[in-house]
Amino acid sequence: MTPQDHFLVVAPVAAGKEPALRALLHSMNAEPGMADPRNAVVPFALFERLHFARLMLLDDALQADLRAHGVEPKRLPTCLAFLGDCDGPADEVLVDLAERAGPGLARIFAHCEGFGEGTALLEWMRARKRRSAASFVNWVGRSVRQIREEAALHRALAARVPRRPLAAPGDAERVHRELATWVTGEVGAGRLALTPPTPTPLGWQLAKLANLVFVPLVGIVALPLLIVGTPLFVYLLRRHEERDPEVCPRPVAADLEALHELEDHDITNQYTAIGAVKPGVFRRWLLSVLLLLTSFVCRQIFTRGFLARVQTIHFAHWFFFDDKSRVVFVSNYDGSHQGYMDDFINKVGWGLNLLFSNGVGWPRTRWLVHGGSRIEQSFKYYQRRHQLPTQVWYKAYPGLALVELKRNHRVREGLEQGTMSDAQALVWLRLL
Amino acid sequence: MITTLPVELDDIQGLVRFGYKHHTEASFLLLRVSDRDAARRWLATVPVCTAETIEPPPETALQIALTGDGMRALGVADAIVDAFATDFVTGMAGDANRARRLGDVGANDPGQWQWGAGARMPHVVVLLYALPGKLAAFQRAIEAQCAACFERITCLTTSDLDGIEPFGFMDGISQPLVDWQRKRRAQDAERDEYTNLSCLGEYLLGYPNEYGGYTDRPLLDVDVVGSRLPRAEEAPERADLGRNGSYLVMRQMRQDVHGFWQFVDRCAAGNAAARDRIANAMVGRDRAGVPLVGPANETIEGGGVPGDLNAFTYRSDPHGVRCPLGAHIRRSNPRNADLPPGRPGIVSWAMRTLGFDAEALDQDLVASTRFHRLLRRGREYGVGVPLAQALAEPTASTETGLHFICLGANIARQFEFVQNAWAMGVHFDGLPNESDPLLGTHLPSADGRPTDGFSIPRDDGADERITGLPQFVTVVGGAYFFLPGIRALRFLATT
């Protein structure tokens, strides 16, 4: 299988160039915020390993919230961020991007500090590339190509499957066999493609294995310390939870409108949020450890279509910024924003609290998992207020939702499984 | 510490508690303020029926709701209006994103509405209810009073179709049971069973909702307001303009009865039994209201008694073999709990909560129902079309449809969510790119794929799939109103 990777290139916008940059980014879109896949600046559609990509401006407006903690915020530059989720090593995609969309990317980055005439684009991007603190990939190994091929397969089979009762014993099994034979023929004739998975890179497997061993090992080694430290931790946690200020004012109507304009053009939507980490060593360490654990479980456990109960996130990343004083969270999710947030509250409110309660202003939590995001009104204001418009957003498979990707893959598995019992064949037929 | 105050029925408009079913006659006046002072005087004194029980029922009942524009036209300060929910302030036809989410595109485009957008945006709706034979005189009297202060956009008339909606199905069967006694403790707790009992705060502002929290609303300075408004429960030092009020969502939905039955008839190749089967599948009940999912014998908190038309969930039919997943009533009220079903015990609970129970995950595609309930108060309009006539060639019949009305304390989480994620959602419960068979626009999605199918699952083969569904229901008007408490209404008219 082809593991997924991501890149995030971040650079401060040069003084005075923000308006021009916004105009250029805007020119890449077909609908507000929705990239024209074949736009002249970065024709994303040419890059077949790219699942999602976005270009966005990260400002520091919410740094002012630090004053609630008595900390005077530093002025931070507005940055341009270029994020991509891709098949295979991100560096290879960056090389490809520099090669085939070089002039367009250079036009964009020319609005950033440190990029001028004659700057070597690829080196410049590499130097500004950062890795996430934690990343979730809905289905590790599912490539863009596979998604497209399986969607075509499902479409073809759905149009062909007999839609009548198959009452006689063996009927379903026979239909399954016939369809499988038909698909083989279509593949042979080049009308359908079912590219076999590529071998999983050994390096990737070893790294994953090392991670699987190393993180629990550190845990075991640190266990005595953790046990001894628990009372102190509990004391500090409760003290912080009781004293940390909430900053959940209602978002400004015009800001909300700017976000709305970009949403619901496709079944999938984008989300970008930014916020300051609560000042002090305790939260900084707690968040670091929790993101490390998140990264671990996303790598080892949540790799097959779900992040706890949430099944509507394609990709999500947490990035530390500015020496761990800020976090940027990005995701691609199915459905409307309202539905996404309700899903979050009702299905994984505890998980949100674990991580985001370390951010300045989060609604008050109890014991790290209770309260917080379940304080509906405060939470909904908070997450909207922390959201930033994503100026350009690209999705490689418009219209396709995760439930379909999962179903399409089951269809394929059912074909490749070979023989089936009648009961299994019935279940398979009902996927069509 | 929050003190739980008694529910002041005399400060709540009657529509929140009653459907006025004895009042079979009704009409809705959509008005714009023409003389601000006169309008304020009228609103300050007009008798409004409250939620108190009156025996025998009064001959007539009048209810009043206002839009955000209406409040501004009456001179209510922007700071007060803007403190209501953003969705209400922006309005149903207020932005393109909302139109995309609600399916108000194509034929439903607010630009083509008869009312609810632009200069035909009502400021006030006056809802008139009357016992048989009593409406005409009542309406004349009210219209005479209104003439001096309002300009009439239109009067929406209604018809008494005996509880049958224009397509011919029994309507209004399922309603949440509002917890007027406030029996349910105001706290945030997971519920592992579907419940039909619903917190008062889901429908009335100023009371705790299903999360145990309060919805945002204008809380005013007591020094300024004095005792004209009730106090906020969670902030007793503030006056609560929202308390005892509700948001009222109104949509005029024109129903193409000929189109519906003739389409179904074509799918059934003229066979009456097949026609009924397909139409019932689209609705999820038969025309008498009997749920397709089977004998309604479950015991549901606040959900009637075994044997009635509401004592059921879809737990026994997870794949939609008896009641299709995409049936209208299944989409509008999926009757699920906070967590998909599983074995009792903490291990199963933990597995389901963490997503490790694959079977549970497959049944976890629909949000918890209890956060998305609507208190429906709609009325039919136009002339009923008997089935035989609907099946015959269409004649130049008059328009018929539904004045859909629902009440809720959170427009975004209730009406908009149900409309967007459940009715218009093309992957509701994992369905293959199809929207509500009755309500959907059935327009191709952004990527060009059709959404005009309807799947009827069966347990002995691939789903039966009906394709080429035209649009049966067209939205021709709509707006978000605030149905204030009585004191809040008088305050708005005098502030």
Is A403 in Cβ contact with B211 (below 8 Å)? no
Q: Report pLDDT digits (tens) over B437-449.
A: 999 999 998 788 9
Q: Which of A117, A69, A74, A54 is nearest to A319 (CA)?
A: A54
Sign, CA torsion B357/B360/B361/B367 = negative
Phi/psi for A288 (5° steps) reads: -60, -45
The count of residues in chain B is: 495
| Rounded Cα distance, B344 and B347, in Å | 8
Q: Report pLDDT digits (tens) over B87-120.
A: 999 999 989 999 999 999 999 999 999 999 999 9
DSSP H stretches of helix in B148-286: 222-225, 257-267, 272-283
| Rounded Cα distance, B318 and A142, in Å | 28
Q: Report pLDDT digits (tens) over A238-248.
A: 999 999 999 99
Is B352 in Cβ contact with A308 (below 8 Å)? no
Cβ atoms < 10 Å from Cβ of A27:
12
List all residues 6 or more positions away from A375 whose beta carbon is below 8 Å from its beta carbon.
A363, A364, B211, B213
- The percentage of residues in chain B with a pLDDT greater than 70, rounded to a whole number, is 98
Q: What pLDDT, on a 0 to 100 scale, did the predictor assign at position B492?
A: 96
- Residue A338 with chain B: CB contacts under 8 Å: 101, 412-413, 416-417, 420-421
Phi/psi for B392 (5° steps) reads: -75, 170
Ranges assigned E (strand) in A175-312 = 268-276
Q: Report pLDDT digits (tens) over B207-235.
A: 999 999 999 899 999 998 888 999 999 99
* Averaged pLDDT of chain B: 93
Cβ atoms < 10 Å from Cβ of B432:
20
Q: Which residue of A has its CA nearest to B449?
A: A399
Pairing of strands A79-87, A4-12: antiparallel
- Indicate which of B80, B86, B416 best probes the interface with A, i.e. most A CBs within 10 Å of its own CB: B86
* Averaged pLDDT of chain A: 94
To which H or E segment does residue B328 belong?
A: helix B328-332
| Rounded Cα distance, B41 and B45, in Å | 7
pLDDT band at residue B1 under the 50/70/90 scheme: very low
ipTM of the complex: 0.93
| Cα end-to-end span (Å), chain B | 31
Query: For B101, which of A336, A426, A430 is closest by C-beta distance?
Result: A336
Domains of chain A by residue range:
4-141+200-395, 144-196+401-429
User: Which of the 8 DSSP states describes residue B416?
Assistant: I
- What mean pLDDT is predicted for residues B305-324? 89
The answer, yes or no, to whether residue B396 has pLDDT greater than 70, is no
- Residue A377 with chain B: CB contacts under 8 Å: 213-216
Q: Report pLDDT digits (tens) over A116-150.
A: 988 999 999 999 999 999 999 999 999 999 999 99
- Longest CA–CA span in chain A (Å) reads 76
pLDDT band at residue B2 under the 50/70/90 scheme: low
Query: For B213, which of A253, A375, A404 is closest by C-beta distance?
Result: A375
What residue has token string 């609970």?
A: B349
Q: Which residue of A has its CA nearest to B357?
A: A309
Give chain A's residues under pLDDT 70. Answer: none
The answer, yes or no, to whether residue B372 has pLDDT greater than 70, is yes
Ranges assigned E (strand) in A134-267 = 134-137
- The percentage of residues in chain B with a pLDDT greater than 90, rounded to a whole number, is 82
Cβ atoms < 10 Å from Cβ of A419:
10
DSSP H stretches of helix in A27-143: 90-100, 102-109, 121-127
- What mean pLDDT is predicted for residues B271-280? 96
Q: Which residue of B has its CA nearest to A268?
A: B446
Is A302 in Cβ contact with B355 (below 8 Å)? yes
- Residue A336 with chain B: CB contacts under 8 Å: 101, 420-421
Cβ atoms < 10 Å from Cβ of B330:
26
Asked if B83 and B218 count as a contact pair (C-beta separation under 8 A), the reply is yes
Give me the amino acid identity at A258. Answer: A
Q: What pLDDT, on a 0 to 100 scale, did the predictor assign at position B5?
A: 63
Q: Report pLDDT digits (tens) over B414-458.
A: 999 999 999 999 999 999 999 999 999 999 987 889 999 999 999
What residue has token string 């939620």?
A: B51
Beta bridge partners, B164, equal B170
List b or e across A370-407, with b for residues whose CB sees 16 or more CB atoms inside 10 angstroms.
ebbbbbbbbbbbbbbbbbbbbbbbbbbbbbbbbbbbbb
- What mean pLDDT is predicted for residues B361-374? 92
Q: What pLDDT, on a 0 to 100 scale, did the predictor assign at position B187?
A: 77
Beta bridge partners, A57, equal A80
Is A401 in Cβ contact with B427 (below 8 Å)? yes
